[in-house]
Amino acid sequence: MADKKIIEAYDPEAILEVRNLRKCFPLKKTLTGKVTQELIAVDDVSFKLKPGETLGIVGESGCGKTTLGRAILKLHQPTSGKIIFEGQDITDFKSSQMREIRKKMQIIFQDPYSSLPPRSTVGGILSEPVTVHNIVPKAEVKDYVLDLMDKCGLRDYYYERYPHEFSGGQRQRICIARALSVNPKLVICDEPVSALDVSIQAQIINLLKKLQQDMNLTYMFISHDLSVVKFISDKIGVMYLGSMVEYGTKEEIFSNPLHPYTQALFSAIPHPDPNFKMNRIILKGDIPSPANPPKGCRFHTRCPYAKDICKEVTPEYKDHGNGHCAACHLLDEQ
């Protein structure tokens, strides 16, 4: 683990800065409440996000990408580290203090079926946050909501309908409209398209891109699908078993992936062309359990280039030029 650095001055340009964020979940407790075994879901993750940018977080199941998103929103209280939002350190904010911040940070979930309350109408779902946070005067709420629905491609007569009457794509539009109803600055999109069909995926991604331009939003886009992330992100972070293994601009990551895991992820995606022959790196074995991660480099059990040092020493996460960061012993040697 990298030593906790002394907190430097906050970057005034960044809307969100995450420093050495760690989140552990207790697995086993003794009778006295002492934690004997814990699951390190997010381990020492740091990044900065500028307004209007999109950060894509890529990783497989159990890599901690969802926990990272929720920890930033403080839906999970981080174990250690700092979250700095708009120059404020919100890590230790109480829930009453967070209520104001919530207006500025929103989240869109993966499953459009369980993320909408089943017993409210679309109008009810969308106007509730507007009235609670007093975004517009009471008399204008309905017009405001209808305008928002129009922006998200929802017809006005959906106002009276219930979520179960809609298909996945339309529900995801409702979720987006709900998140945007409070005029947030940062939206965390937690796999917003992975439950949708291909043709609908493209609609939602385009909608998100359009809304980003119109409303000057900052996105943190979490996905397991590299090809989706590519279309929406400016910066990309690749996570494996709780830690960030590679981080850089989209161009850097796609043209020059440094970490062997990123390379394997790229090659694992099936290409829709029968004649396309790819030199596929097939990783052996399964993803280790995050409750019991391997020693040394977490990837060494599956890495095709693993060496002795990888089994013992955790590689340092450092800059390899142009802000392209990675954590791998192979890179250190070159």
Partner 1 sequence: MAANYLSGKEIRAIAKENKKVMKRLEAYKYRKCDESEYLTEMKNAENILEIDDLHTYFFTDQGVVKAVNGVSFDIPKNATVGVVGESGCGKSVTSMSVMRLLQAPTGQIYSGEIRFKAKDKDGTVKTYDIAKMPMRDIFKIRGNEIAMIFQEPMTSLNPVFTIGQQLDEVTFIHDPEATKEDAKARSIEMLNLVGIAMPERVYNAFPHELSGGMRQRVMISMALASNPRLIIADEPTTALDVTIQAQILDLLRDLKTKIDGSIMLITHDLGIIAEMADYVVVMYAGKVIEKGTVQEIFHNPMHPYTIGLQKSKPTLQSDSDTLFNIPGNVPNPINMPDHCYFKERCTNCIGKCSGEYPGMIQVSPTHFVACHLYEEDQKNG
Partner 2 sequence: MSENTKNDTKEEVVDSELPLDKNVRLMSPARMVVRRFFRSKLSIVGLIMVVGLFIFSFLGPLVYTQWGEIELDESGKTEYSVTETTYTVDGREYTVRQTTEKSLKDNFLAPPSSEHILGTDNEGYDIFVRLMYGGRISLIVSFIAVFLITILGVIMGGIAGFFGGVIDNIIMRACDILICLPGIPILLIISTILDASEIDAKYRIYLLMIYLTFISWPGTARLVRGQILSLREQEYMVAAEAMGYSTGRKIFKHLVPNVMPQLIVSMSLSLGSMILYEATLSYLNLGVKAPYAAWGTMINIISTNQDILQNHLNVWVPAGVCIVIAVLGFNFIGDGLRDALDPKARR
Q: Is 168 left (phi over 0), alpha (psi -120 to 50) or beta?
A: alpha
Is there a contact between 233 and 55 (Cβ–Cβ < 8 Å)? yes
Examine residue 132 and tell whether it contacts partner 2 (CB under 8 A).
yes
Q: Tell me which of partner 2, partner 1, none is bound by residue 182, counting a contact when its beta carbon lies within the kind-specific cut-off of 5 to 8 angstroms.
A: partner 2
Binding mask 212-231 for partner 1 (x = CB under 8 A): ------------xxxxx-xx
Examine residue 293 and tell whether it contacts partner 1 (CB under 8 A).
no
Binding range to partner 1, per CB under 8 A, among 38-46, 106-114, 181-189, 281-289: 281-289
CB nearer to partner 1: pick between 52 and 168: 168
Examine residue 210 and tell whether it contacts partner 2 (CB under 8 A).
yes
Cα–Cα dist 153/297, whole Å: 46
Examine residue 185 and tell whether it contacts partner 2 (CB under 8 A).
no
Examine residue 255 and tell whether it contacts partner 1 (CB under 8 A).
no
Binding-site residue total for partner 2 (CB under 8 A)? 37
Cα–Cα dist 67/78, whole Å: 10
Is there a contact between 116 and 41 (Cβ–Cβ < 8 Å)? no
Examine residue 77 and tell whether it contacts partner 2 (CB under 8 A).
no
Examine residue 266 and tell whether it contacts partner 1 (CB under 8 A).
yes
Q: Is 310 left (phi over 0), alpha (psi -120 to 50) or beta?
A: alpha
Is there a contact between 57 and 220 (Cβ–Cβ < 8 Å)? yes
Cα–Cα dist 182/141, whole Å: 12
Query: Where does this chain bind partner 2 (CB under 8 A)?
Result: 70, 73, 75, 98-103, 105-107, 109-111, 114-119, 128-129, 132-133, 153, 155, 162, 164-165, 175, 178, 182, 203, 206-207, 210
